[in-house]
Amino acid sequence: MPAAPAYRRLSVEERRSQLLHAALTLFAHRAPEDVSLDDVAEAAGVSRPLVYRYFPGGKQQLYEAALRSAAEELQRCFDEPPNGPLLPRLARALDRYLTFVDEHDAGFSALLQGGSVVETSRTTAIVDGVRRAAAEHILSHLEVTDPGLRLRMTVRMWITAVEAASLIWLDEDKQPPVEELRDWLVDQFVAVLSVTADRDPQTAALTQKLTADS
Amino acid sequence: MPAAPAYRRLSVEERRSQLLHAALTLFAHRAPEDVSLDDVAEAAGVSRPLVYRYFPGGKQQLYEAALRSAAEELQRCFDEPPNGPLLPRLARALDRYLTFVDEHDAGFSALLQGGSVVETSRTTAIVDGVRRAAAEHILSHLEVTDPGLRLRMTVRMWITAVEAASLIWLDEDKQPPVEELRDWLVDQFVAVLSVTADRDPQTAALTQKLTADS
């Protein structure tokens, strides 16, 4: 969002969203402990008391609000119409996810690596909510309404592996190239499903569908 | 360690290790926020001031010391002689690891799920040290001295997936049976290596060795 012209008074909602945007930009590229409320005020071109008026809980409240807004943005990456072959759908969602990771690099790492000063059971719950949403999206595209334990575990293990890959990718100066990473992750998804298919009829039916579909 | 008989004075080292053992047992089965210093004193059969004498930093210091001791125990699970076929070595290390997970259930979950009140950058560093040790063990068994990015990523992604599996397994009343989980994880290791082998000559050479070896 561009800075609003100085001659217009912002509504409460606009102001809040302007502060949140400034905070998110800062938290995206620095660890939360390296962002001060002064930084946020300066980035938004407002006074520190004004930031406090909107976020009386200070940095913790601002961080959680920014995180919630980032979590919503991240969940929108998973939106994909339920049409066409399955693996290209997964590849498109991964493309959007990896773009998000690319754009929120330091903040994304700080959040997922834990041990941050602003991490609480509430921030952990927000992140877990995103993981759960990712798993639900995948199962809904696979048209599974009652996933068994082995299938659920496989999907959640793959999601965790994708997170780990994202963190290493950021750590390694965004290597390998993002298209290679995306295809590699899709191939891993098929591979781990196949391993589970050997011991789970529900997953075996899915892998047959995936093969027929591609 | 059994409680020491009351008539013998414990040495400083013995007392410290007794307190640590009591703390570890409590932290193993409850989330850290549900363990008080009084609980530790009671479990060790000593007074609360005595616990403070050994751990002046209170619960945080005790938790970190207990965590460090658990981390050492966990790393010993990875010790495996570098002889014989590779996959049975991995299976044996996983057996020991899963026994550890079984014995430290609630504490293991609390630690890895983050957002705990006693989580700090130091506790995160201890956990990361264990992950790093696991990766080094695997690469040394594979006799790789200079692992490339794609191989390192594959090993770390698999380790993260194993962690995720452990947490879900604890959540699901330790289902599927531990032997099935172990074999499944070994099969996944082979599968993700094979996917990487398609795009990385170093990993391709390893998968050939794994196949020849089994």
What ipTM was reported for this prediction? 0.88
The Cα of B66 is separated from the nearest Cα of chain A by a number of Å equal to 17
The Cα of A26 is separated from the nearest Cα of chain B by a number of Å equal to 21
List the one residue out of B194, B57, B186, B31 whose CA is nearest residue B109. B31
- Does A114 contact B at CB distance below 8 Å? yes
Residue B109 placed within a domain: yes
Chain A residues closer than 8 Å to B175 by CB: 149
Which residue type is seen at B59?
K
Give the CATH number, domain containing residue B40: 1.10.357.10
Whether residue A176 is predicted with pLDDT greater than 90 in this model: the reply is yes
Task: Give CA angle at B156 (B60, A154), nearest 5°.
Answer: 95
Name which of B119, B188, B198 is nearest A119 (Cβ-Cβ): B119
Which residue type is seen at B63?
Y
Residue A90: burial class (beta carbons within 10 Å; 0-12, 13-18, 19+) = buried
pLDDT digits (tens, 9 = 90+) for B166-208: 999 999 999 999 999 999 999 999 999 999 999 999 999 999 9
Whether residue B6 is predicted with pLDDT greater than 60 in this model: the reply is no
Residue B37 placed within a domain: yes
pTM: 0.89
Residue A33 DSSP label: G
The Cα of B165 is separated from the nearest Cα of chain A by a number of Å equal to 6
Task: Give the count of beta carbons closer than 10 Å to the beta carbon of residue B172.
Answer: 12
* A38 and A30 Cβ atoms separated by less than 8 Å: no
Residue B1 placed within a domain: no
Residue identified by tokens 């050994």 is B54
Residue A4 placed within a domain: no
Minimum Cα–Cα distance from B160: chain A residue:
A161
Total number of residues shown for chain A: 214
Domain housing B84: 12-213
Tally of domains in chain A = 1
Residue B82 backbone dihedrals phi, psi, to 5 degrees: -80, 50
Residue A151 placed within a domain: yes
- Does B123 contact A at CB distance below 8 Å? yes
Q: Is the pLDDT higher at B32 or at B153?
A: B153
Residue A194 placed within a domain: yes
Instruction: Count Cβ–Cβ pairs < 8 Å, chain A vs chain B.
Output: 98
List the one residue out of B104, B80, B100 whose CA is nearest residue B92. B80
Residue B145 placed within a domain: yes
**Residue A122's pLDDT band (boundaries 50, 70, 90)?**
confident
**Residue B114's pLDDT band (boundaries 50, 70, 90)?**
low
Chain B residues closer than 8 Å to A116 by CB: 121
Q: Do B163 and A158 touch (CB under 8 A)?
A: no
List the one residue out of A75, A70, A112, A106 whose CA is nearest residue A93. A75
Residue A131 placed within a domain: yes
Residue A4: burial class (beta carbons within 10 Å; 0-12, 13-18, 19+) = middle
Task: Give the count of beta carbons closer than 10 Å to the beta carbon of residue B110.
Answer: 23
Task: Give the count of beta carbons closer than 10 Å to the beta carbon of residue B37.
Answer: 16
